[in-house]
Amino acid sequence: MPSGFDPAKSRFHQTLSGDALNTPPPIWLMRQAGRYLPEYRATREDAGGFLDLCYNPELACEVTMQPIRRYSFDAAILFADILIIPDALGQKVWFEPGEGPRLEPVTTRDAVATLDLSATGEKFGLICETVSRIRAALPETTALIGFCGAPWTVATYAVGGRGSPDQAAARGLAYAEPQTMQMLIDVLTEASITYLCAQVDAGADTLQIFDTWAGSLPDDEFDRWCTAPTKAIVDGVRARHPNIPIIGFPRQAGTRLAGYVEATGVDGVGCDTTVVLTDAVRDIPSTVTLQGNLDPLLLVAGGDPMLRRIDHILAATAGRKFIFNLGHGIVPQTPPENVEALVKHVRRQTA
């Protein structure tokens, strides 16, 4: 691993890759770099478009570091997006200002066949240059999380051409043409393994797989499109990097969460806001680190309700390998001072 990073000195790794029950728990927040920070909005302005920012190693490193400077989180997360993979594979991807991602939908076998694994090198290379810069800029005790979107979640955007409340386009394709969906999932899985291994080679010491839309999959479709490709990524990455800790985040998996953890072999699991933490503590083996799950909207509201909920989360996970986080990403209207109050409150905790 490049730089002087020593996992043994990182509280994040003492928990995730060791068996430390740290009090207070390590903390980072999903989407900790983003529009709620004025300095992010300024850098974003300088970069031009959102994808221009992702592919600019100097500026992407800068925005990754912004929340670390403010809050000294125990981990940084690479600044990029889950749609880098379809973009690198040759699908047309752009961000509509004020709206979100748009893609030229891939819905046929022929269209899936144009996605080109051999074309990803240049764009993955830029992201990995960002990873190396971040590692060099971070304090030695701060972990660096690399990530990708899980194949199913990326497929919901690749097929639908945009975000949607119900992922209807991808679910419809999975039913009508399962072989086409399988081809798409397979190419995304392959690209994810290459991409994550390259991030580790560049200095990422932890990986997270975001399956934001896992919850839209019914019953056995969940195993086929969420669990199986995630397990393939975990196995594929571990074949080259046996010791890299991997956190899975199958959002709104509900009663399928423990089965996902067992089948995929992830080291840690992100709990969304709907997970009852005492159930997760009971149902998921104690060797697996839990991460979560404050409601991002409670972070917007702040004050006593937020502090009481933090206490509840800490009490429910006491004596457990646990990383404090939100149950989903920070939203743009979050007051930065509430993040400060959150971090202070978690770190006030004593054994």
Residues that bind ligand CP3 in the complex, under the rule CB under 6 A: 30-35, 44, 50, 77, 79, 81-83, 100-101, 147, 149, 163, 210, 212, 329
Q: Which residues pair with 209 in a beta bridge?
A: 148, 248
Nearest-approach distance from CB 98 to ligand CP3, in angstroms = 8
For the chain, how long is the longest CA-to-CA vector? 58
Task: Show Cβ contacts of residue 118 under 8 Å, excluding neighbours closer than 6 positions.
Answer: none
Nearer to ligand CP3, 30 or 134 (CB): 30
Nearer to ligand CP3, 18 or 336 (CB): 336
Nearest-approach distance from CB 86 to ligand CP3, in angstroms = 11
Nearer to ligand CP3, 174 or 326 (CB): 326
CA–CA gap between residue 158 and residue 106 (Å, rounded)? 6
Say how many CA atoms lie within 13 Å of 41 toward its Cβ: 8
Cis peptide before 24 (omega within 30 of 0): yes
Nearest-approach distance from CB 211 to ligand CP3, in angstroms = 8
Between the alpha carbon of residue 211 and those of residues 17, 29, 109, 215, 230, the distances in Å are 22, 16, 24, 9, 9
Q: Which of 36, 13, 16 is nearest to 269 (CA)?
A: 16
CA–CA gap between residue 111 and residue 108 (Å, rounded)? 5
CA–CA gap between residue 103 and residue 88 (Å, rounded)? 12
Nearest-approach distance from CB 260 to ligand CP3, in angstroms = 17
Residues involved in catalysis: 31, 35, 44, 81, 157
Nearer to ligand CP3, 62 or 81 (CB): 81
The alpha carbons of the chain give a radius of gyration, in whole angstroms, of: 19
Nearest-approach distance from CB 221 to ligand CP3, in angstroms = 19
Nearest-approach distance from CB 286 to ligand CP3, in angstroms = 27
CA triplet 93, 208, 228: central angle to 5 degrees?
Answer: 85
Q: Which of 194, 188, 196 is nearest to 229 (CA)?
A: 188
Nearer to ligand CP3, 155 or 261 (CB): 155
Nearer to ligand CP3, 275 or 304 (CB): 275
DSSP 190-228: HHHHHHHHHHHHHT--EEEEEETTGGGS-HHHHIIIIIH
Length, in residues, of the chain = 351
